[in-house]
Amino acid sequence: MADAVRHGTHGAPFGERHGAAKLKQADIPEILRMRREGMSLRAIGRKFGVAHPAIGRILDGRSRWLTDSERQAFADSMLEAMR
């Protein structure tokens, strides 16, 4: 276990480090922009080759893709767009 911790290989990989990942961290700003512009979760998912629930999990913070500051900035921009 200590060796795995030392080499950063302990625990299950997540995000783009996971072998089956279809998204990269660099895709997240584009996903946020598309949603702010009103694109549906299904349309965004199709563009990136993932199911729409995966996009929903990113946007509502149930995935590990967004930092707290990114999540807050997105929420603020969505509220501003609704005004």
Domain boundaries, the chain: 23-82
Burial per residue of 32-58, b for 16 or more beta-carbon CB atoms within 10 angstroms, e otherwise:
bebbeeeeebeebbeebebeeebbebb
81 pLDDT band, cuts 50/70/90, is confident
pLDDT of residue 19: 60
pLDDT of residue 67: 75
Span 48-74, average pLDDT: 84
2 pLDDT band, cuts 50/70/90, is low
List pLDDT tens digits, range 8-48: 666 665 566 666 678 888 898 899 999 999 999 999 999 99
Contact (CB, 8 A) for 49 and 75: no
